[in-house]
Chain A
Amino acid sequence: MHEFDWSSIPNALPFLWDGMLISLEITLSAVVFGIVWGTLLALMRLSSITPLSWFAAGYVNLFRAVPLVMVLLWFFLIVPHLLESLFGLPRGTDMRLTSAIAGFALFEAAYYSEIIRAGIQSVSRGQMAAASALGMTYSQAMRLVVLPQAFRNMVPLLLTQGIILFQDTSLVYVSALADFFGAAYKVGDRDGRLVELLLFAGAVYFVLCFAASRIVRHYQNKLKTA
């Protein structure tokens, strides 16, 4: 049986905290960009302009069919070289954090757009008709009447997707970027205490995600009764 020795964790806490900040930074930026780009994709998908809706459908289906690991590998191994040669950046510029954020944002946007599309479609048709009858243009009606109601209903789903995204950020491990999980792995590997550090990382993720999903559920129930 393994003999536990947790002594390397207290000293490593500042390093692990830095890692957690990177995880949160990736999560937050990807959520914000993902929702903005996802909203645009959803609007394109619902638009009556055929090329736009085809583009959005193709984009969403492509990203939803490919594993996240594959998307991240594209963004870590291929895209930096492409950008280097396109913009003449010096070789070996460290773009891992930017690549990670871009990869996650573009990937999550596909999932967000499906949530948002369902949200827009759940707003009753009469709302759009009423807005048009009041003389609003299509974009005014979308912006001022339909989207605010759609977003209000979607908040729990968007937040749940955010929790999933936070868990998925651990996959930046493939680029050796020291996010929270990467940091825990490095410390464990260095001190020969991989078992303890991995258990610790698992426990931290569990506590954070469990608490966050409880809060979302609480909010969801409040929304239902309101």
Chain B
Amino acid sequence: MAYNWNWGVFLQPTATGDDSTYLDWMLHGLQMTVGLSLSAWLIALLLGAVVGVLRTVPNRWLSGLATAYVEVFRNIPLLVQLFLWYFVMPELLPEKLGNAFKQTNPIMQQFLSSMICLALFTSARVAEQVRSGINSLPPGQKNAGLALGFTLPQTYRHVMLPMAVRLIVPPLTSEFLNIFKNSAVCSTIGLLELAAQGRQLVDYTAQPYESFIAVTVAYLLLNVVVMSGMRWVETHVRVPGYIGGK
């Protein structure tokens, strides 16, 4: 098979005329992937914590609402959700707001839709972890809190949540890794993150193997970095006496 390997291609100036190299394109894509994933992750954690707590409260309406939230975001494919946020949401908003959205910078539109989509999609999964964390606590903890005269919200805040949060760090690690991988789906609406830059590199450089190998390796590295970061967090928060504890 005659294929001319040329790894030097990444250092060549791009064909668009500005003085960036193809390596710069990749780094921009990486930046976008990281920025998008981190901002969506923050929202997902906050929302997921609220929804997860609501699923465990002894109120049928609140817990039912939270269950419906989780089921909706878990049973529609991510790609469909993304298209709903990007193409459908601006049409369904009140006209003024929809038009305001459509008039912002297209990159901003793509980024906002992607961020909301990834955040809500992941929040449903975080909520499930929060719920199972709270449910895994011995019932005596809640009863003890209530017996000491705490109200239910106080029991959650001072007794159950501090414990549950530490227990769910390991399962949250895999959700955190997933959000980086899922962000690649956002290339379908034209957001120039890492996977999209990979495609663009193939078109511009005509070196498909180098481009795809480089992007794949970038994802692997991202994975390793996130995993070691989370491992550090895990060792610092684990609860003595539980599996994996000190």
Contact = CB atoms under 8 A, between A and B. Distances in A.
Nearest to A168: B77
Nearest to B221: A65
Interface stretch (A11-19, A44-52, A67-75, A149-157): A67-75
Contact of B195 (A73, A173, A194): A73
Given A1-B95, A66-B216, A70-B219, A201 B80 contact: yes
B77 A70 contact: no
Interface of B: 1, 71-72, 74-81, 83-84, 87-88, 91-92, 94-95, 177, 180-185, 187-188, 195, 198-199, 202, 208-209, 212, 215-216, 219-220, 223-224
Q: Is the interface of A mostly helix, strand, loop or mixed?
A: helix
Interface of A: 1-2, 62, 65-70, 73-74, 77-78, 81, 85-86, 167-168, 170-171, 173-174, 181, 185, 194-195, 198-199, 201-202, 205-206, 209-210, 213
Contacts of B83: 185, 198
The winner among A194, A202, A210 for most chain B CB atoms within 10 A is A202
A65 B220 contact: yes
Q: Is the interface of B mostly helix, strand, loop or mixed?
A: helix
A195 B202 CA distance: 32
Contact of A73 (B75, B95, B183, B198): B198
A187 B60 CA distance: 41
Contacts of A201: 80
B126 to A, nearest CB: 17
B181 A68 contact: yes
Given A85-B1, A206-B75, A198 B80 contact: yes
Contacts of A85: 1
A210 B181 CA distance: 24
Given A1-B94, A168-B77, A70 B84 contact: no
